[in-house]
Structure 1
Amino acid sequence: MKKSFNGNNVEICAPAGSWESLSAAIRASADSVYFGVEKLNMRARASENFTAGDMAKISRICRKSGVKPYLALNTIIYDSDIPEMKRICDSAKSAGISAIIASDIAAIEYASSINMPVHLSVQANVSNIEAVRFFAKFADVIILARELSLGQISGIVRAIEKEKIIGPSGKPVRIELFAHGALCVSISGKCYMSLAAYDTSANRGDCYQPCRRRYIVKDEETGFEMAIDNQYVMSPKDLCTIRILDKILDAGVSVLKIEGRGRAPDYVSSVTGAYKKAAGLWNKGRFSISAAKKLEVGLESVFNRGFWHGGYYLGDKAGEWSGISGSAATLKKIHIGEILNYFHKAGIAEINLSAGGLETGDEILITGHTTGARKMKIGSLRIEGKSAVRALKGQVATFPTDFKTRKNDKVYLLVPSS
């Protein structure tokens, strides 16, 4: 069985931007999750952030399932933020959070001073072994910049091994890499476009994403507008590395991070599950391109802006632009209702079709705080105890499930996006 260079199994680190996504990540067999609380994290605007008071519950849920919880405290920290930063760090330590992900030296140094493990955020833009040597004084895990090539990544990992660079735990520093998800048009941690345009800083978790919008090129003197092939000239496609996961892991990467704290629970479930399976195949020496492409079908079904396969890791220049404002997912979710009840002994769910109808053979998605994100096909329906082929909007119906649902879980019909 293959293992990463430091002898550990590959760790899949999944995003948790909500209770539903947290449950989805755990059910998809994530090894760790990362989340933010309140405002001092890079998804303060995009995700349903937790509060500091939620951390004890998050820790309990994760540890019950053998999952490590990491707190993202990865924004720029100003003097006025320091009391809040310290309060959050103290709360994380008391709650039993496994590590803090940070890039600002104020947060790194304070976390270290209270013996709180630190993972160095991608926002620190670590791109060379000298930076690794420096940050190893504070961090056991270092997330490398997304703009490096596989050769550069491998060189850094081998240097850690050769020089025996250890972190505060006394163990070799582990290297983490973003494996999937949205890419910024700028270099990691260096974008100021939102700040310049709207006075809301991306580096404070408050990005308005002007890069995801359409633009035209206009001559100010004549008013002439130039035609361009793609109006989304600053919106990269999403990073997808599943086809080259063997190369990434062979390079010595220990932790694979999935971007997406602002994404829905079905995204978290599908992407986490796919990369977990791919890493498992690599562990067993059975990884192949054909197997990766089969797993890629699931990735295509959830939110994506199209895929840049391999990204900068293959040494390619930026140039894979999305061409769309929203998602290129192959499946579309249509909200049709909510779960009213679940009958444990019979394994039957009762649904209130408040927003749409349902037929036998339909594929649905059920999401909830504890349920996470579960997909299933409707095998049979009953209305008022009688068998039915379809149930209409406004009706209450029941159907068998092979997993537990909960009251108020949301139900979506999954249909082809075309």
Structure 2
Amino acid sequence: MNNQREAVVANETPPLELLAPAGSFEAFKAAVENGADAVYLGGKSFSARASAANFDLEELHKAVRYAHERQVKVYLTVNILIADQEFQELMDYLYAVYDIGVDAVILQDLGVASLIRAILPELEIHASTQMTINTTWGAQHMERLGFYRVVLARETSAAEIKTLAASTPLDLEVFVHGALCVCYSGQCLMSSFIGGRSGNRGTCAQPCRMTYQLVNQERKNLLTVKNLGEHLLSPKDLNLVEDLVELKEIGVHSLKVEGRMKRPEYVATVIRLYRKALDRIERQGENGPLLTTEEHQELLQIFNRDFTKGYLRENPGADLMSYSRPNNRGTRLGRVVSLNSGGLDLKLEAAIHSGDGIEFWTGRGREGITVGNIWRDKQQVNDGFPGETVQIEFSGVARPGDRVFKTNDAKLMEKARESFQEGKEQRKRPLTMSLRGHIGDKLTLEVVEGMRRVRVFSANPAQKALKRPLTWDYANQQLGRLGTTPFWLDQLVVEVDEGLMLPVSDLNEMRRKAVEELLRETTQRNVERSLYRQRIGKWNNELAKARLSSARSNLPLVSVAVSDPETLEAALKSGAKRVLIGGEHWRSRKNFKIDEIRSGFETCRKQGVDCVWRLPRVLNETQSTRLLEDLKKAALWPDKPKLMVSNLGELEMLRSLDPNWPFETDYSLNVFNEASLAHFLHLGAQRVTLSPELHHEQLAHLAKWGGIEYFVFGDLEMMVSEYCPIGSTLGGKQGSHCSGVCVKEPHYLRDRLEYDFPLETDQECRMHLYNVKVLNLYEELPQLKRMGVSNIRLQLTRQSPEQVGLIVKVFLEAWDTLQLGNRSLWTPDQGMAELTSMFPQGFTKGHFFRGVL
């Protein structure tokens, strides 16, 4: 894959690409007609917005043709984790979309990236934000894997983007408008584990938009007196329209608008306004605001949860969040003045129209209506304006002084719909035409559009006119009839003999042929299906060989993950033969310092225990630099420690220090299929921890490979977020000004069903949200043994030393008994009783039986 860009004129930067979402063909047309440079959309399969209408292959072909005729690119989302049984369908699909002419595919699954690199390297690939790339190290790894573009994590700051842009040839794409995930994308398991709908499979149920209470150990609501609202995980919408100049200067290439689930009118309005802003940058540079007050109001009106700049400058803490409501706020319309039978008086702060949707914020909640008739001074009118008092029909409950918001502007929606109405397309390119020739010869029509030039000839020779000779006006009238084509006639030169005549049918046919030639697809798709099948066959053979060669005879072990020296000691005393130390640095406990990591390794070596240093799940650029310094120290130890990488940037850091540094991979890398497993083993991983979203049948298939580890007991992390609800609501301000209230007592998020989700905060003030119930596959150990699972993992990073000691003993006794083939001597009853006594909140078997497919 060639990642080298074409040379750019010195001191010039390419124009910013405006990238629009489309969940339906109507939204797609809305995006194109309102000025998008590119559109991203999903197919009926393999898309991270599975509940959008999406595009079948016929619709996709229609969309690509429509876009390319207007010089707009189409990027297809294949940004979910793919199961092994789906790969054959995926391979057929990839060739079909390549043949259709999509400009790139957006990927999450590294196994799919490996597949495309092997069987269809001609297809451009972009790294989805689901891959959690936010550092120069992560971008370097994407470059090494053949990606052309990286969609950065939304948490990446302007300063970090600037550093990234200076260090990589990859295109950088950033979100600039729309809904925000509170969790790092690709690292969220909350919808998956509490509702069975996986964000990694495109079916997120958005639990972040639900209500929660922040409670302490005594289950007291800590925010009762603050009256913030209970949507404690619901962010505002991103809006960076006035920051586009800076984004261009720091090296961003593509501006991504979120919204594949939004209505076409939303797409039309947001893209139209961002296009206006970008056009103003090209005309006026940095001078002046990019949108007028009225245009900002339209952006607010079409949909907002209030707006935020996200993490562009700093961690905004509570300012990121929309605590009071998770959906569209609308815009301030006015207040209720008085009520009367069948109606009310409304003092306006903004315009109102018949057909508008409005919402009353009352003491009893919110009530919405569609505006019918409007009266002013007892005269029926269609509109009311700021400063006026109007009367509207109303039969609900409200009081004088209640605030009223407009949630739907009928005129704005009508304006948006007109922009993509069938037959009224406005996205057209100018043509220059030259018609030349002589009586007795065929006329020549030369048409120029941009860098393209076509020439066609009349079907018949021109004749001498008997009545009506060809004039410029007549030629302009006929050649300018370009209808629904993406062209308009800008200039026409007519150089013909005086008194010449050509039938109108010949003129029309020349125009038709010229347009047809201009619209001919110039991108050559030159991979024949037979060659594609050969590549697939080779890939399948290599995968089979890798599966056979990976089979190892290592004795299966129980891995025990701990996060501080005390729990390490407890695990070793209980007989652990493999320990994973490190990970996140919790604010609530001591954690491992670098010298304690080293001493832990030395202790384990003396006892013959396999020890692995787990690296943190998320790091920003500054934190990566600090970790790199620690790794440089560790590289000088007499025995280099084995490492467990938790993100792709860490893997690249290891390679920079020592390409042969022994490493394993953690479950946060979302290994969901053979291809991704083979990818990491090929890179040198000694062991790969599989995704916790696997069904037992998928696991049995992957267990044929050696060197796998599977999470069977412990706290499942549902979210990791730069936003901390504790510090943001109780700590004064999240970050350096926070009072550190998180370390004073345990905290939980209580949902509407009164389940309490434990919260942990790390030293970087990130929130880590855990499942209410502990994952426990103790009763499934015999099945795991029969499958041939290499290692099982106990994730005991939040447990006390006493709990760690007991849990390790319970699992070691069972696992050792099963490894000796003494299945008849083992029953789960006693072990389950001991585990249950430690965890009264109960257990979950996760996706072992229900899966996410």
User: What residue in structure 1 maps to residue 329 of structure 2?
Assistant: 328
Mapped contact 1:42–1:75 kept (Cα < 8 A): yes
Mapped contact 1:243–1:289 kept (Cα < 8 A): no
Structure showing greater Rg: 2
Separation (CA, whole Å) in 2 of partners of 1:219 and 1:79: 43
Residue 93 of structure 1: CA displacement? 0.3
Deviations 1:114-173 (A, max 9, x none): 11111111111111112212212422111111111101100110112xxxx4xxxxxxx2
User: What residue in structure 1 maps to residue 73 of structure 2?
Assistant: 68
* 1:180 counterpart = 2:177: yes
Mapped contact 1:4–1:249 kept (Cα < 8 A): no
Residue 357 of structure 1: CA displacement? 8.6
Taking structure 1 as the reference length, the TM-score comes to 0.74
Separation (CA, whole Å) in 2 of partners of 1:242 and 1:225: 36
* 1:371 counterpart = 2:426: no
Tell me the amino acid that sits aligned with residue 97 of structure 2.
Answer: A
Mapped contact 1:14–1:25 kept (Cα < 8 A): yes
2:21 to 5, 15, 30: 15
Aligned pair count? 344
Q: Secondary structure at the match of 1:312?
A: coil
Gap change, CA 1:179 and 1:108, over 3 Å in 2? same
* 1:135 counterpart = 2:136: no
User: What residue in structure 2 maps to residue 213 of structure 1?
Assistant: 210
Separation (CA, whole Å) in 2 of partners of 1:332 and 1:304: 20
Mapped contact 2:268–2:419 kept (Cα < 8 A): no
Mapped contact 2:25–2:59 kept (Cα < 8 A): no
Separation (CA, whole Å) in 2 of partners of 1:149 and 1:224: 33
Mapped contact 1:181–1:240 kept (Cα < 8 A): yes
Gap change, CA 1:219 and 1:38, over 3 Å in 2? same
Mapped contact 1:178–1:256 kept (Cα < 8 A): yes
Question: Matches of residues 10-409 of structure 1 in structure 2 within 5 Å?
Answer: 10-45=16-51, 47-112=52-117, 113-114=119-120, 115-137=122-144, 138-160=146-168, 165=169, 173-217=170-214, 227=224, 228-288=227-287, 290-292=289-291, 294=293, 295-308=295-308, 310-319=309-318, 320-322=320-322, 323-330=324-331, 363=411, 365=414, 367=417, 371=421
Residue 23 of structure 1: CA displacement? 0.8
Residue 371 of structure 1: CA displacement? 1.6
Gap change, CA 1:333 and 1:274, over 3 Å in 2? farther
Mapped contact 1:278–1:287 kept (Cα < 8 A): no
Separation (CA, whole Å) in 1 of partners of 2:24 and 2:134: 31
Moved over 4 A (4+): 2-6, 217-226, 331-336, 355-362
Mapped contact 1:3–1:283 kept (Cα < 8 A): no
Mapped contact 1:142–1:174 kept (Cα < 8 A): yes
Which stretch shows the higher mean deviation, 313-322 or 71-80? Answer: 313-322
Separation (CA, whole Å) in 1 of partners of 2:263 and 2:131: 27
Separation (CA, whole Å) in 2 of partners of 1:83 and 1:297: 49
Higher relative contact order (CA 8 A, sep 6+): 1
Deviations 1:268-294 (A, max 9, x none): 011111112212222334345633463
Gap change, CA 1:367 and 1:273, over 3 Å in 2? closer
Deviations 1:209-228 (A, max 9, x none): 11111223467867878515
Taking structure 2 as the reference length, the TM-score comes to 0.38
Q: Secondary structure at the match of 1:231?
A: coil
Tell me the amino acid that sits aligned with residue 56 of structure 1.
Answer: H
Deviations 1:361-382 (A, max 9, x none): 673517499627x9xxxxxxxx
Report percent identity of matched pairs.
Answer: 28
Gap change, CA 1:286 and 1:369, over 3 Å in 2? closer
Aligned Cα root-mean-square deviation (Å): 3.3
Separation (CA, whole Å) in 1 of partners of 2:71 and 2:230: 45
Listed as ranges, the gaps of 5+ residues in structure 2 are 1-7, 332-351, 358-370, 375-380, 384-409, 425-482, 484-853
Q: Secondary structure at the match of 2:76?
A: strand
Q: Which protein is richer in helix relative to its size?
A: 2
Tell me the amino acid that sits aligned with residue 139 of structure 2.
Answer: V
Separation (CA, whole Å) in 2 of partners of 1:7 and 1:76: 35
Gap change, CA 1:61 and 1:369, over 3 Å in 2? farther
Separation (CA, whole Å) in 2 of partners of 1:176 and 1:34: 12
Mapped contact 1:119–1:139 kept (Cα < 8 A): yes
Residue 12 of structure 1: CA displacement? 0.3
Tell me the amino acid that sits aligned with residue 44 of structure 1.
Answer: A
Mapped contact 1:11–1:254 kept (Cα < 8 A): yes
User: What residue in structure 2 maps to residue 387 of structure 1?
Assistant: none
Mapped contact 1:126–1:145 kept (Cα < 8 A): yes
User: What residue in structure 2 maps to residue 414 of structure 1?
Assistant: none
Mapped contact 2:33–2:419 kept (Cα < 8 A): no
Gap change, CA 1:32 and 1:5, over 3 Å in 2? farther
User: What residue in structure 2 maps to residue 410 of structure 1?
Assistant: none
Q: Secondary structure at the match of 2:28?
A: helix
Which stretch shows the higher mean deviation, 355-364 or 124-133? Answer: 355-364
Mapped contact 2:48–2:199 kept (Cα < 8 A): yes
Separation (CA, whole Å) in 1 of partners of 2:216 and 2:314: 34
Residue 315 of structure 1: CA displacement? 1.6
Tell me the amino acid that sits aligned with residue 303 of structure 1.
Answer: F
Gap change, CA 1:216 and 1:70, over 3 Å in 2? same
Which stretch shows the higher mean deviation, 217-226 or 83-92? Answer: 217-226
Tell me the amino acid that sits aligned with residue 254 of structure 2.
Answer: V
Separation (CA, whole Å) in 1 of partners of 2:19 and 2:353: 26
Which stretch shows the higher mean deviation, 72-81 or 222-231? Answer: 222-231
Gap change, CA 1:4 and 1:116, over 3 Å in 2? farther
Separation (CA, whole Å) in 1 of partners of 2:220 and 2:137: 50
Which stretch shows the higher mean deviation, 236-245 or 210-219? Answer: 210-219
Mapped contact 2:281–2:290 kept (Cα < 8 A): no
Residue 80 of structure 1: CA displacement? 2.2
Separation (CA, whole Å) in 2 of partners of 1:250 and 1:233: 35
Mapped contact 2:180–2:236 kept (Cα < 8 A): yes
Listed as ranges, the gaps of 5+ residues in structure 1 are 166-172, 337-354, 375-403, 405-418
Separation (CA, whole Å) in 2 of partners of 1:116 and 1:255: 19
Deviations 1:315-340 (A, max 9, x none): 2244221121321233999599xxxx
Tell me the amino acid that sits aligned with residue 327 of structure 1.
Answer: N
